[in-house]
Amino acid sequence: MRLVEELEERFFDILLRTLNYAIEFTEDRSYASLRFMDLFSSLLDLQPMILRETCRGEFYEKLREKLKSRQVMEGRESRSRFQREILDMFIGEWRRTLPTGL
């Protein structure tokens, strides 16, 4: 695997893990879920600097648009629903990039 491809896979994995941590803490009374979403957003902002040319550029742009369109979320339910929508986007992207014939 080329270095660029490995970096791309690791970046995707780190974003996904950060999102999963945010989802895991949604029901918690602390602000952990919000902090993980802030981390997710910050990592996503780094993507153009780290991965200038990526096969997932369109996917990352859609994620950025999704995050921009969100409003301040008052309740856990709306936050949870939003996080699940982003998770569904990740699952769709992961499936799209799977090698054929598996």
> Structural domain boundaries of the chain?
3-96
Rounded to whole angstroms, how far apart are CA atoms 97 and 102? 12
Q: What is the pLDDT of residues 41-55, one digit of tens each?
A: 999 999 999 988 888
pTM: 0.82
If one counts every other C-beta atom within 10 angstroms of the C-beta of residue 13, the result is 11
Q: What is the pLDDT of residues 60-73, one digit of tens each?
A: 999 999 988 776 66
